[in-house]
Amino acid sequence: MRADDVLNGPVLETRGLTKEFRGFTAVDNVNLSVQEGHIHALIGPNGAGKTTFFNLLTKFLPPTRGEIIYRGKPITSKKSNEIAQLGLVRSFQISAVFAHMTALENVRVALQRQLGTSFHFWKSEKTLDHLNERALELLEEVGLREYADTLTVEMPYGRKRALEVATTLALDPTMMLLDEPTQGMGAEDVDRIVALIKRVSKGRTVLMVEHNLSVVSRLCDRITVLARGAVLAEGDYDEVSRNPLVREAYMGSDAAEEEAAV
Amino acid sequence: MADSQAYDAPSVVKERQKRARMRRNIFYIALLAVGLVAPFLAYPVFLMKILCFALFACAFNLLLGYAGLLSFGHAAFLATGGYVTGYLLASYPGLTPEMGIIGGTLMATLLGVLFGVLSIRRQGIYFAMVTLALAQLMFFVFVQSSFTGGEDGLHGVPRGDLFGVINLSSNLAMYYFVLAVFIFGFAVIQRTVHSPFGQVLKAIRENEPRAVSLGYNVDAYKLLAFVLSAALAGLAGSTKTVVFQLASLTDAHWHMSGEVILMTLLGGVGTLLGPLMGAGIVVSLQHILAQSPLGNWVSVILGIIFVLCVLSFRSGIVGELDKMYRKNFK
């Protein structure tokens, strides 16, 4: 936990963030602020620009205009890997694991960066063995200890997503960006991941893209709705789900009743 | 949850790794024994040719198999090592062969830095094109420069005395020196692959965006892999010049860049021993075919083998053997 650098303002803030692709505006003048300790959801219909927005935040895409401020400092001109080094770590929509490495190695490769020996091609990989213990703890935390020795490619899908969380946690991030963490999962896996996110978000800030509204209602402190690249509404779950504009754009007016009841 | 049962992963993992390591060591010792007696069974110059190309292919494999980068310009490093070593040894009679080889290797390393900086940001086919273009540029430089002997190449490079002590004019002495150089190069690659750096390289090859999101500057890691590969290719070229006492444009030609791809794919890309196997097969085939009535058909036959390899056994000979072993003995 990073009690020493708690800020009174938002952890992450965007000002007028815009991305244009040859005349098409995917993200349009978005002002977003995420408060310390919140689990903040970004929802919206397909094509609303949620994933593009994530890519802008982590500099996988360069923004056309606007500013990104993280813990009071502008990070708009930083590179993707530098942003990760600052403690702002993202996950991906499609499960992002290192398939032909074991679960343990997946986590360990995240841990090893702090050693500063990652360019040392003359050292034995045995010098990484002392990280195994910490890696196992992290696997334990996400319920994957029994998979430590399994090649990731052989793990079930839901477990791969959990492994991704463990790998992200290895960096001890201040803020986690999760891109649809429950996408493509069965109900049982969804429950497991929800519980996991709830557990690991203690002392951290989370911004997540999520389609599953029941997940959003169970987890999130605050919700921002994007439609056509722009912010449509913001508030807690009740406020947002009552907003007629949101019902119209996101759920379709009839479905809204059903979804809100979940 | 099911993970509450007593499960001590580290010791299980360690035990398995230990056994695998022991098996590997036994295998390498056997291989070393073969290497030591080989010159009494086959013509040493032929064996040295295989070893030089095997080192070249191993260097190439480090880049393609372990960093996922397909260079189409590796001939430039082989040739640079060869020419620089040849020039040094021919013009400065006081230099011992190992000094010449170190000089050639250093030059190839520098060229590797230059090529790498210019090409590493490109992906896939664009990376291959940039390296090819740069290598063609070097070919032109070698044709035009006076120190390379232009079209004629360098001839009569003295083998000299290793460390000023061991005379290398005997093929047997030369062979053991080349074997030592190969083992050194192979050990460097083996260590690199199984190092902290190798782990990151593997992660980058598996999922580059994820490696970036974990905070790794992937271009820097790729660059280091590229430079190491260039250095070892240069070492192969330098050693080859001392063995054959000549350096020629053949080494700089793009055919050579293609040949090393063939050797690596045929033997098994991403396997440690594949390139050795591939180089052995290609060099032997060239040798046998050159003496047979099919001499003019060498490139056609190699081409057919290449096509067959890509179509039917993609992981190469060593890769397929490895798969068979895993299936039947594990």
pLDDT digits (tens, 9 = 90+) for B289-314: 888 887 778 888 888 888 888 888 88
- Do residues A110 and A181 both lie within one domain? no
User: Can you give the pLDDT at residue A8?
Assistant: 57
Is A198 within the bounds of a domain?
Answer: no
Q: Given CB atoms, is A136 within the 8 Å cutoff of chain B? A: yes
Q: State residue B325's pLDDT score.
A: 82
For residues A230 and A18, is the Cβ–Cβ distance under 8 A?
A: no
Residue recorded with tokens 């992002």: A96
Q: Where are the domains of chain B?
A: 41-253
What phi and psi values does residue B32 have, to the nearest 5 degrees? Answer: -60, -40
User: What total number of domains does chain A contain?
Assistant: 2
Closest CA to A209 of A25, A11, A52, A33: A52
B24 C-beta neighbours (distance < 10 Å), count: 12
User: Tens digit of pLDDT for each residue in B62-89?
Assistant: 999 898 899 999 999 999 999 999 999 9
Exposure string over B154-187, b if 16+ CB within 10 A, otherwise e:
beebbbbebeeeeebeebebbbbbbbebbbebbe
Q: Do B195 and A120 touch (CB under 8 A)?
A: yes
Interface touch B1/A144, C-beta < 8 Å: no
Q: Which residues of B touch A121 (CB under 8 A)?
A: 191-192, 195, 197-198, 224, 228
Cβ-based neighbours of A89, under 8 Å, separated by 6 or more: A168, A171, A173, A175, A176, A177, B213, B214, B215
Residue A35 lies in a domain: yes
Are A116 and A149 contained in the same domain? yes
Q: Sign of the CA dihedral B303, B305, B307, B310?
A: negative
Chain B neighbors of A124, CB-CB under 8 A: 191, 194-195
Per the domain annotation, does A200 fall within a domain?
A: no
User: Does residue A127 lie within any of the structural domains?
Assistant: yes
Same domain, A222 and A262: yes
Residue B43, Cβ neighbours under 10 Å: how many? 13
Pairwise CB contact (< 8 Å): A98 & B224: no
Task: Please determine, for residue A131, whether its predicted confidence score (pLDDT) is greater than 50.
Answer: yes
Q: Do A61 and A100 fall within a single domain?
A: no
Q: Return the structure tokens found at B36.
A: 């030591």
User: Is the Cβ pair A96, B210 closer than 8 Å?
Assistant: yes
Mean pLDDT lowest among A99-113, A162-176, B281-295: B281-295
Give pLDDT, residue A144. Answer: 87
Mean pLDDT score across all residues of chain A: 85
Q: Could you tell me if A185 and A156 lie in one domain? A: no
pLDDT at A262: 47
Same domain, A73 and A11: yes
- What is the reported pLDDT for A185? 80
- With bands split at pLDDT 50, 70 and 90, how would you rate the model's confidence at A256? very low
Q: Residue A79: which CATH number?
A: 3.40.50.300
- Same-domain check for residues A182 and A57: yes
pLDDT > 60? residue A1: no
Rounded-to-integer distance, Cα B139 and Cα B238, Å: 17
- Give B104 to chain A, closest Cα distance, Å: 22
> What's the average model confidence in pLDDT over A110-131?
87
Does any CB of chain B come closer than 8 Å to the CB of residue A132?
Answer: yes
Angle at the Cα of B239 (from B236 to B165), degrees rounded to 5? 145
In this model, does residue A203 exceed pLDDT 60? yes
pTM for the full model? 0.85
CB-CB under 8 Å, A128 with B206: no
For B211-233, write each residue's pLDDT tens digit.
999 999 999 999 999 999 999 99
Q: Confidence class of residue B4 from pLDDT cuts 50, 70 and 90?
A: very low
B13: chain A residues, CB-CB within 8 Å: 102, 104, 132, 148-149
Give the model confidence (pLDDT) of A205-239 as tens digits: 999 998 888 888 888 989 998 888 888 888 888 88
Question: pLDDT value at position B25?
Answer: 86
* Interface contact flag, B214 A125, Cβ < 8 Å: no
Question: Phi/psi class of residue A235: alpha, beta or left (left: φ > 0; alpha: ψ in -120 to 50)?
Answer: left
Identify all chain A residues contacting B203, using CB atoms and an 8 Å cutoff: 98, 101, 109
% of chain B beyond a pLDDT of 70: 95
| B196/chain A closest Cα distance in angstroms | 5
State the nearest Cα–Cα gap between A193 and chain B, in angstroms. Answer: 14
pLDDT (tens digit per residue) in A178-187? 988 888 788 8
Is A188 found in the same domain as A70? yes
Shared domain for A145 and A188, answered yes or no, is: no
Assess A130–B contact: CB distance below 8 Å, yes or no: no
pLDDT band at B130 (very low <50, low <70, confident <90, very high): very high
Q: A89 and chain B: CB distance < 8 Å anywhere?
A: yes
pLDDT surpasses 60 at A188: yes
Per-residue pLDDT at A82 exceeds 60: yes
**Cβ within 8 Å, pair B196-A118:** yes
- The ipTM is 0.81
State the pLDDT at residue A257: 52
Q: So what's the pLDDT on residue B54? A: 95
The pLDDT of residue B75 is: 94
**pLDDT confidence of residue B12:** 66
pLDDT at residue A190, rounded to an integer: 86
pLDDT of residue A252: 59
Chain A within 8 Å of B215 (Cβ-Cβ)? yes
Residue B327 has pLDDT above 70, yes or no: yes
Residue A30 lies in a domain: yes
A189 at interface of B, judged by CB pairs closer than 8 A: no
Are residue A42 and residue A101 in the same domain, yes or no?
no
pLDDT at A14 over 70: yes
Residue A128 confidence class, pLDDT cut points 50, 70, 90:
confident
What pLDDT, on the 0 to 100 scale, is given for residue A202? 87
Taking the CA of residue A245 and the nearest CA in chain B, the distance in Å comes to: 35
A26 and A145 share one domain: no
Percent of chain B whose predicted confidence (pLDDT) is above 90: 48
- Do A47 and A34 lie in one domain? The reply is yes
Q: Which of B2, B12, B213 sits opposite A84 (nearest CB)?
A: B213
Domain span holding position A154? 96-172
